[in-house]
């Protein structure tokens, strides 16, 4: 650090924050040893090659995210990648044996009844989702939608997770995310009459000491989104109270993969991970 920079730090605390942000951006993402860099390069090529065909869909996604803190990204993901991701998600769900039926205190004791696909499952058995998570082209695409840099999650166990709902009553009850962003890929989904839709209430901050879920539901407008198999979306999870509508019919399936990303703000503040530890950690 130069003498000028040292002097700037002494008189301008905001300069420290700016330096920290620049350092984080310079690092970009840091793939783990389990990531196949050849697959990352392949996905970069596929996503980059699709750019010219998504101008209209990208503009619509930006507009939707600005208004709703949610954007459907189905039209941004190449069909060949969707097919491959669905196949890998199916394999991972079939390998998984972990199922939970719990309530989570920091979200007002709301329920989690589902098959829980932890990050360790992806590290051991995923090629595509781990590569997609570390694709610079894919991150640049999501950054265009949300309008701010997309970074690694601050907690390894939260980077890539999934859920498998296949019993009547299965739900990922009302909750918030520990990080700002989540990109959700729908590998399998029942038709709308069987439930499983996303419901979200944007602009609802999370107070872990007093989550006040029912009060926030009464104050806000609940948006309900249906997604079929192969669709995807990104949304702002840290200030959007959200859930999946309980599955209504025994034996139908909803399989989703969740790629969690951080903002600069996430990296610059102290965080805790109660929901991730409850849902995805043994």
**What was the pLDDT predicted at 76?**
97
Mean pLDDT of 68-85: 97
Spatial CA neighbour of 49 closest among 116, 113, 137: 137
* Residues whose CB is less than 8 angstroms from the CB of residue 141 and which lie 6 or more positions away in sequence, other chains included: 47, 58, 76
Q: Could you tell me the two tokens for 167?
A: 């019993």
In the chain, ranges of CATH 2.60.120.620 domains: 34-280
Spatial CA neighbour of 126 closest among 173, 82, 84, 169: 84
Count Cα atoms within 13 angstroms, Cβ side, for 251: 0
* 179: confidence class by pLDDT, cuts 50, 70, 90: very high
Express each pLDDT in 202-257 by its tens digit. Answer: 999 999 999 999 999 999 999 999 999 999 999 999 999 999 999 999 999 999 99
* 116: confidence class by pLDDT, cuts 50, 70, 90: very high
* pLDDT reading at 9 higher than 70: no
Express each pLDDT in 245-282 by its tens digit. Answer: 999 999 999 999 999 999 999 998 888 999 999 999 86
Q: What is the pTM of this model?
A: 0.91
* 99: confidence class by pLDDT, cuts 50, 70, 90: very high
* pLDDT reading at 12 higher than 80: no
* pLDDT reading at 158 higher than 90: yes
* 157: confidence class by pLDDT, cuts 50, 70, 90: very high
Mean pLDDT of 108-134: 97
Gyration radius (Cα) of the chain, Å: 19
Spatial CA neighbour of 136 closest among 33, 53, 28, 22: 28
Instruction: Print the SS3 string covering the chain.
Output: CCHHHHHHHHHCHHHHHHHHHHHHHHHCCCCCCCCCHHHHHHHHHHHHHCHHHCHHHHHHHHHHHHHHCEEECHHHCCHHHHHHHHHHHHHHHHHCCCEEEEEEHHHCCEEEEEEEECHHHHHHHCCHHHHHHCCHHHHHHHHHHHCCCCEECCCHHHCEEEEEECCCCCEECCECCCCCEEEEEEEECCCHHHCCCEEEEECCCCCCCCCCHHHHHHHCCCEEECCCCCCEEEEECCCEEEEECCCCCCCCCEEEEEEEEECHHHHHCCCCCHHHHHHHCC
* pLDDT reading at 103 higher than 90: yes
* 16: confidence class by pLDDT, cuts 50, 70, 90: low
Distance CA 18, CA 20 (A): 5
* pLDDT reading at 8 higher than 60: no
**What was the pLDDT predicted at 32?**
84
Spatial CA neighbour of 91 closest among 198, 187, 205: 187
Return the number of other C-beta atoms located less than 10 Å from residue 227's C-beta: 20
Q: Could you tell me the two tokens for 229?
A: 């198999």
Express each pLDDT in 20-75 by its tens digit. Answer: 666 766 665 678 889 999 999 999 999 999 999 999 999 999 999 999 999 999 99
* pLDDT reading at 6 higher than 70: no
> Between these two residues, 185 and 29, which has the higher pLDDT value?
185
* pLDDT reading at 15 higher than 90: no
Q: Are 247 and 170 in contact (CB under 8 A)?
A: yes
Average pLDDT, the chain: 92
Lowest mean pLDDT, pick from 13-22, 23-32, 123-132, 139-148: 13-22
Longest dimension (CA), the chain: 68
For domain 34-280, the CATH class is mainly beta
Distance CA 264, CA 25 (A): 8
């Amino acid at each position: 650090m130069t003498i000028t920079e040292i002097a700037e730090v002494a008189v301008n605390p905001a300069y420290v924050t700016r330096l920290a942000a620049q350092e984080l951006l310079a690092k970009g993402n840091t793939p783990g040893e389990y990531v196949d860099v050849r697959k990352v390069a392949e996905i970069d090529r596929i996503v980059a090659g699709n750019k010219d065909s998504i101008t209209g869909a990208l503009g619509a996604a930006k507009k939707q995210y600005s208004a709703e803190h949610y954007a459907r990204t189905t039209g941004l993901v190449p069909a060949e990648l969707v097919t491959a991701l669905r196949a890998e998600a199916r394999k991972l769900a079939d390998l998984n044996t972990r199922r939970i039926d719990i309530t989570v205190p920091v979200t007002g004791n709301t329920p989690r009844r589902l098959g829980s696909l932890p990050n360790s499952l992806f590290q051991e058995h995923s090629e595509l989702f781990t590569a997609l998570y570390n694709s610079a082209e894919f991150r640049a695409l999501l950054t265009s939608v949300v309008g701010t840099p997309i970074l690694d999650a601050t907690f390894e166990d939260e980077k890539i997770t999934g859920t498998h709902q296949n019993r009547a009553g299965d739900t990922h009850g009302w909750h918030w995310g520990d990080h700002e962003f989540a990109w959700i890929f729908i590998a399998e989904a029942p038709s709308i009459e069987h439930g499983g839709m996303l419901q979200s209430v944007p602009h609802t901050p999370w107070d872990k000491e007093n989550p006040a879920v029912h009060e926030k539901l009464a104050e806000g407008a609940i948006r309900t989104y249906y997604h079929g198999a192969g669709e995807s979306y990104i949304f702002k999870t840290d200030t959007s109270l959200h859930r999946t509508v309980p599955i209504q019919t025994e034996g139908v399936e909803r399989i989703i993969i969740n790629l969690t990303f951080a903002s600069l703000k996430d990296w610059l503040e102290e965080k805790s991970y109660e929901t991730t530890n409850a849902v995805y950690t043994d």
